[in-house]
Structure 1
């Protein structure tokens, strides 16, 4: 029988045979807990569920805003 050891990224669940590659993957992911988030909202008549139509995210250490649309 052969025993295999895998290291799994805690963010994207990708498995790696190399521990350093798994750690590199984890460090590459941006953490939302340290981000600034802004929402763009529409009126009750336009969007009755109250959710934003766009969300802008700026991660710590970055000057760039990333925009997500629904």
Structure 2
């Protein structure tokens, strides 16, 4: 699931919490919203790490090509 999905779910539960009159239920809904927000942050970190690995791989391939041309 993408970052946007988790952010939308977090917002959905924040909205539900804001509209809830029962304090315990409201607190529970806010915790669920926070968990979804945490999932979004984790998904973003994973995406960033994957992009960095891909970038390093591209750099390594470019370096290898340069070395071959120099030899």
TM-score normalised to structure 2 length: 0.30
More helix by share: 2
TM-score normalised to structure 1 length: 0.31
Larger radius of gyration: 2
More strand by share: 1
Higher relative contact order (CA 8 A, sep 6+): 2
